[in-house]
Amino acid sequence: MLLPILLVVLVVYLFQKWTYSHWKRRGVPQLNPAFPFGNVADTFKQRTSYSNRLAELHHQAVRDGHRFVGIYTLLQPILLVTDVELVKRMLTVDFEHFVDRGAHVNEKRDPLSGHLFSLTGAKWRRMRLKLTPAFTTAKLKAMFPTMMACGRTLSAVIDDHVGRALAIRDLMTRFTMDVIASVGFGLECNSMRNPDELFRQMGGRFFSKSWKTSVRMLLAFVAPKVNRYLQVKLNDDDVEEYMLNLVRDTIAKREGGGEVRKDFIQLLVQLRNQVEVKDGGSWEMNKVDQNKTLTVEEMAAQSFVFLNAGYETTSSTVTFCLFELCRNKDLIGKVQEEIDRVMDGGREISYEALAEMTYLESCIDETLRKYPISPVLFRVCTKPYKIPETDVVIEKDTLVQISLVGLQRDTRYYEDPMKFDPDRYGERKSETMPHYSFGDGPRVCIGLRMGKVMAKMALVELLSRYDFELESPAADSGEIELDPSLLMLQAKHDVKLIPRLRTK
């Protein structure tokens, strides 16, 4: 009985020794792993988030003098890149070697996973080409009045809480959900007034704080090879069914000619029917083509990622930005002065007015530098790549990760990186200052401008009407505690602010 046990122990020992020598055998420096979690045991024990752990590994590699280093998530070898010039090359000049993100995608078993973020190769290129016209400046301008209607509701809700502590992130998630429901799906969600609205409940489940969500996200984005074996879906069946039915019903209404709206799903319906989507073009359905170029499942997947990408990024960006501005009274004063100057004479908030608010833009950029909401860039090597100035060749199918928390808080590139300093983006801005919160190169986030417009519009609506202060004076000197269970950067506890009507 003892001999078989010893044999099993020996086999496991030899297997993990061989697995954890992957990088050494290829001449790549590695940070020492420990079985069975590799270099991320604290993440799986929920002591720290994956993004924070990756940032720690980034800084450790930098201290050891490495431009790149091998690490392990469970038994999965990952190349962690810490040098900004190498990152830049991989994302842009040498993009053909790193086309894919390597995230979970299984269109047959998990149809909502077949979205632009995760699609690979030729499928990704075709979908990107189709969707790009939906995110032009002209299309955003056309959708802007719909966004502003949600902005007015936001102010009305805050009017009811003047002088009382307000959980700002919760409110901002409801605001962004209402905007996305309207400009994405043509729905009047009104979760700012009704937090239990079904669309919000279904859409928000993707980012729910639970062990189930944490495991799904880690498997989908950090250990996709393990996920392919386990076949874990990203969403529950009822969420999937809700999204598919919602898109199916909307298609029927739009193709039937009964409803036309200037929203994202109208553009998808046009693309599905081979109607040319162009700036200045009609939003009408001038033909219903029998040869559909987008399936219901493909449309649902693109709509779903539109929802989730905008929902978390915008709400958390506004929350973190308000937190930092409330800790820096001089900065919030400068932002309000700029807003007052641009809006002088009773000018309405418009797309053009937002474009003039350059200091506010710098505040958002600095927020995203310090708090990159999607804190890790994922890539997979799609063809062998020789790292410049080395003899190291990255093999096909190797997973590559870039810690944005590590890179954008790296003292080599940013002086006093934990200081919130929007003036970094004035005349002092340098090409050596890495800022990849929306990615870079051909796979840069397609909704970058829409996300920024939503955040700016919300901040202008808030800061033009209200002064804010932190409920807890102690928060003035501390940092926000981040949720260790989530892959995205999110505060563990909501930020409580007290709004007061401005006296200009």
- By the 8 A CB rule, do 98 and 382 touch? yes
Cα(265)–Cα(242) distance, rounded to whole angstroms? 16
Is 38 strand, coil or helix? strand
Residues 6+ apart with CB under 8 A from 61: 29, 31, 68, 69, 80, 82
Cα(429)–Cα(362) distance, rounded to whole angstroms? 11
Question: For residue 362, how many other CB atoms are within 10 A of its CB?
Answer: 20
245: Cα within 13 Å, side-chain hemisphere: 8
Q: Which two tokens stand for residue 306?
A: 């539109």
Residues 6+ apart with CB under 8 A from 1: none
- The pair phi, psi for residue 430, each rounded to 5°, is -130, 150
- By the 8 A CB rule, do 459 and 25 touch? no
Cα(175)–Cα(314) distance, rounded to whole angstroms? 10
Is the omega angle on the peptide bond into residue 473 within 30 degrees of 0, that is, cis?
Answer: no
| Cα torsion 438, 441, 443, 445: sign | positive
- Helix or strand run (H / E) with residue 468: strand 466-470
Strands 166-167, 496-501: pairing kind: antiparallel
Residues comprising the chain, all counted: 504
- By the 8 A CB rule, do 185 and 310 touch? no
Please measure the distance between the N-terminal and C-terminal CA atoms of the chain and give it in whole angstroms.
83
Cα(217)–Cα(488) distance, rounded to whole angstroms? 9
Strands 376-380, 399-403: pairing kind: antiparallel
- The DSSP call for residue 100 is B
Q: According to the annotation, is 445 in a ligand binding site?
A: yes
Query: Which residues, listed in sequence order, are joined to residue 453 by a DSSP beta bridge?
Result: none
Q: Which two tokens stand for residue 154?
A: 């936001």
Question: For residue 171, how many other CB atoms are within 10 A of its CB?
Answer: 24
Q: Please state the residue numbers annotated as binding site for heme.
A: 445
Q: Please state the residue numbers annotated as binding site.
A: 445
